[in-house]
Amino acid sequence: MRYSQLAPLTTYEEKNTGSNLPAQVEIYSTAQGPKGPEYKFLFMAKGGGSANKSFLFQETKAILNPKRMLEFLDEKIRSLGTAACPPYHLAVVIGGTSAEFALKTAKYASAHYLDNLPTEGSMNAHGFRDLEPGGGGLQG
């Protein structure tokens, strides 16, 4: 991996440090795994979930219909450009308990960490994955 951590020198200027540190490391423990309690580690190569391509948009409920949502996503995705290194991973998170948690969820989704979420919502208010290209989960 090439060293590409950038250090902010001023508000408008940054310079490559020649390192990939500091690293963001997250460790979670589970109450019970196949062999008892266990730790879970999530490692992401630099660029996966990189802050320079992460955006938070706080919109009103008026956007929660298939036509407006697709227009919104089309506009925002086109504004990303192609400055990142492939492969590209795109995750869109709608809703959540806080802005911080929505961004963290987007990072986990782009790392395939949430691929086993249910594909339908319920009255338990759990997260789910909408697998329909047109936002089938937005209907109703």
Residue 46 per-residue DSSP state: T
Coil, helix or strand for 137? helix
pTM: 0.67
Strand 14-16 relative to strand 6-8: parallel, antiparallel, unpaired? antiparallel
What b/e string do you get for 24-57 counting C-beta neighbours within 10 Å, with b at 16 or more? eeeeeeeeeeeeeeeeeeeebeebebeeeeeeee
**Residue 4 reports pLDDT greater than 80:** no
Q: Residue 107 burial (CB < 10 Å; 0-12/13-18/19+)? A: buried
**Residue 108 reports pLDDT greater than 90:** no
Q: Which phi and psi (to 5°) does residue 110 adopt?
A: -70, -20
**Of 25, 50, 54, 27, the residue nearest 38 (C-alpha):** 27
Grade residue 86 by pLDDT with cuts at 50, 70 and 90: low
Q: How far is CA 109 from the centre of its chain?
A: 5
**In the prediction, which pLDDT does 72 show?**
94
**Residue 111 reports pLDDT greater than 90:** no
Beta strands in the chain (DSSP E): 6-8, 14-16, 26-33, 36-42
